[in-house]
Every structure is written in structure tokens, then in C-alpha cells.
Copies of this chain bind each other. A is one copy, B any other.
Amino acid sequence: MTDKKERILQATEELLAKHGFHGLSMNMVAKEAKVATGTIYRYFTDKDDLLYQLHDHILTIVAQKITQHISDAMPLEQRFRTMWLNIWKMATDSEAPLINRGQFENMPHRGKQYKIALEKTLFAPVHKMFDEGKAQGLFKPLDNEILAALSLEPSAALARKHLTGIFTVSDEARDAAINACWDALITH
């Protein structure tokens, strides 16, 4: 990726995190990226395009963070706990706040097929974990999307509440939450 394009994406992410969607103008992006306004339009057809590409860019990073420190050799439960905590840490460390804050939820999407394909690739280790668990008879025999909603989504949900300051979660409570999610996942 060109140096300039990288800088533009970087600048956009920072400004988005700092001021939100509302206060994001192309001129500000250009200034922050130390680039002329018109230059942005050499790399992105549109403001929307810039945001789309940023979305993918961030999604990639998020996926990497979520599947960090995971190897297929690890026992299933350990993999699960690690992922759950990876999600949690992203929020509390506020290292990738953009997606967790739902800033991207309001963005117009490109075709859904595209999104599904992208996520399938990025979150392959997650799918692998669910597939293995189901093959072993350990996990409930449900679609991966459902299993994710049951067992990982709560982590994001809690993190969001934590982030907005609605209420705070202690370490013990967090560990108990992980166990509860595990309960949702496995057969009894």
C-alpha cells in the first residue's frame, strides 16, 4: 500500500476515534494525513469508499486481535477462553475502540455477499474451533453464527457496556461470565 494511502487511512481512524462520524470532514482528514485534499481522491473514489476501506482495514486488525495467541493445537476450552478475553481486552485497553463503539454500524454496506466472504476468511480460527467442538460432540450442534452469538457476543456486549461506563465489571465477574458462556456453548 502506498505511503500516502496508509497515512490517509491512519488519519481517518484517529479522527473517527477522536470526534466520531459527525465531525469527520475530508479536509480534516487531509490535514491530519498531511496530504492535499484532492490527493485523497486519487486513492479513494469517494468518502464512502474511504470509509468502506477503513472498515475492512479495521476489521482485519480486529480479527487479528481476536485470534491472537490461538493455535489449532490448543485444547478447545483454552482457545475459547483466549478468544473471549481477546475481545474483552480490545475494549478495556481501548486499542481498537472504533468497531466496539458501533461507529461502523451506521455505515452503508457493500453487498452482503462480500461481507460474509471477508468475515469467513478473517475469522477462520473461530470457525475452526466451533467445527471441532461440534465434531467432538462437546459443543451444541448449531450453526456457527448462532454459537458465536451465544458465546462470544456477550463478551462484546459487556465490553460495550463497560466502555460506555454504564457499569463496571470486576475480574471475578468477568471470569464467571466466561464460564457462563461456556455453559451456553457445550452440551449438558
- Residues of A with Cβ closer than 8 Å to B? 20-22, 101-103, 105-106, 108-109, 112, 115-116, 140, 142-143, 145-146, 149-150, 153-154, 157-158, 160-161, 164-167, 169, 173, 176-177, 180-181, 183-185, 188
Q: Which residues of B contact A176 (CB under 8 A)?
A: 140, 142, 146
Cross-chain pairs A/B with CB under 8 angstroms, 5 sampled: A112-B164, A116-B167, A150-B181, A154-B154, A183-B183
Interface of A (DSSP majority class)? helix
A144–B181 Cα distance when bound, in Å, is 15
Q: Are B173 and A161 interface neighbours, CB within 8 A?
A: no
From known contacts A20-B106, A181-B184, infer whether A149 and B140 are also in contact, taking CB-CB under 8 Å: no
Question: Least Cβ distance of A71 to chain B in Å?
Answer: 27
Q: Are B145 and A166 interface neighbours, CB within 8 A?
A: yes
